[in-house]
Copies of this chain bind each other. A is one copy, B any other.
Amino acid sequence: MNDMISGATRNTRQRSEVLALLDEIADFRTPQQLHALLRQRGAQVGLTTVYRTLQLLQDAGEVDATRLPGGEQLYRRCGASHHHHLVCRSCNATVEVRGPAVERWTERIAAEHGFTDIGHTLEIFGTCSRCSR
Residues of chain A having any CB pair with chain B under 8 Å: 67, 69, 71-73, 86, 88-89, 95, 97, 99, 101-102, 105-106, 109-110, 113-129, 132
Q: A97-B113, A114-B128, A116-B129 are in contact. List 11 more A-B contacts (CB 8 A).
A: A67-B67, A86-B115, A88-B115, A95-B113, A97-B109, A102-B105, A106-B124, A115-B127, A120-B125, A121-B125, A122-B122
Identity of the chain B residue whose Cβ is nearest the Cβ of A89 in the assembled complex: B117
Task: Give the copy number.
Answer: 2
Greatest chain B CB density within 10 A among A113, A115, A132 is at A115
Residues of B within 8 A of A99 (CB): 105, 109
A116→B127 contact, CB < 8 A: yes
